[in-house]
Amino acid sequence: MVILFALVAVWPKIIPFIGGYTGLAIEMVIFAIFALGFDLLLGYTGILSFGQAAYFGLAAYTMGIVCINFKVPILLGMLIGILIGTLAAVIIGLLIIRKTGIYFAMLTIAFGQMFFFIASRWKSVTGGEDGLTGIPRDSISLGLFNWNLKNDLSFFYFVFVFFVAATLFKYWLVESHFGQVLKTIRENEKRAQVVGYNVRRYKLYSFIISGVFAAVAGTLYGMFLRYIFPQTLDWVRSGNVVIMGLVGGLGTLFGPILGAGVVTYLMNFISYYTKYWQFFVGAIFIIFILFFPRGIWGFVQKKR
């Protein structure tokens, strides 16, 4: 894990050699946080959601709205954004966690699209299709300590702090009693219940925590672009995080991080050369499902 952190820490220095730039490195790390949370849900608990972008985008929008309209400091704006995103996950989770499998997945899409349409139609608040521009990202100060975020590189390290925290938290979580119970739910939900675990509550917590990860990533994404638009909430983005998890390897610590990096990089790289980039991303996805069903990291683990 130390190697991972060291590697990510110097990543902005390495990425130019593979045709990237600091901004791309930032995006990779933000999506790694998003994918870490998603993996908790699908990889460890065995619940498929196609609506995780809702909490990602909702948090970003909330932060944008309070920061632009009410001149709230950016850190407080982030906090409010994350809280609102989490709150949405709690409410939606309570409503839909009793459903399983395909029905659950469909409901997550439905709720995700609901937020998408609100964002694209409620022009006076969200800026509609044009999105919300001018999210501030200048400097933060905590007492004596001052951190200028205008520069992409320094913002990278701001994101890096969250990434380290998210990775450590996820690691601690899946190794804990809680994480072990999630695994038994994935393996055999009915049995987990009959040995005395309140399965529905565990599933709900897993869903909410996954929502928190998404919300954190969402606010960072809004700050990164200084701009937020309805597609951030779209189910296409929810689908992307599913792809990241599958490509990297679900149910592992490093898999989703790797997957987020690879998929973000490929999308960027291919779209630079052709406007049909989505076709190639789809093809890569299919190849992974067919030949590496356990993702890159699962494949590496098997080889060792």
Footprint of another protein (CB under 8 A): 177, 180-181, 183-184, 187-188, 190-199
The least distance separating another protein from the CB of residue 19, rounded to whole angstroms, comes to 38
> Closer CB to another protein, residue 27 or residue 189?
189
> Closer CB to another protein, residue 199 or residue 262?
199
- Contact in structure between 256 and 245 (CB atoms under 8 Å): yes
**Token pair for residue 284?**
């890569």
* Single-letter amino acid code for the residue at 198: N
Which string of b and e fits 165-192 if b means at least 16 CB within 10 Å?
A: ebbebbeebbeeeebebbebbbeebeeb
The least distance separating another protein from the CB of residue 187, rounded to whole angstroms, comes to 4
> Closer CB to another protein, residue 18 or residue 195?
195
Give the phi and the psi of residue 100 in degrees, each rounded to 5.
Answer: -130, 165
> Closer CB to another protein, residue 13 or residue 191?
191
The least distance separating another protein from the CB of residue 199, rounded to whole angstroms, comes to 7
> Closer CB to another protein, residue 194 or residue 236?
194
The least distance separating another protein from the CB of residue 245, rounded to whole angstroms, comes to 17
> Closer CB to another protein, residue 192 or residue 212?
192
The least distance separating another protein from the CB of residue 169, rounded to whole angstroms, comes to 20
The least distance separating another protein from the CB of residue 183, rounded to whole angstroms, comes to 6
From 144, 150, 169, select the one nearest 40 (Cα to Cα): 169
Cα of 246 vs its chain's centroid, Å:
14
Maximum CA extent, the chain: 56
DSSP assignment of 45-98, as one string? T----S-THHHHHHHHHHHHHHHHHS---HHHHHHHHHHHHHHHHHHHHHHHTT
CB neighbours (10 Å) of residue 216? 28
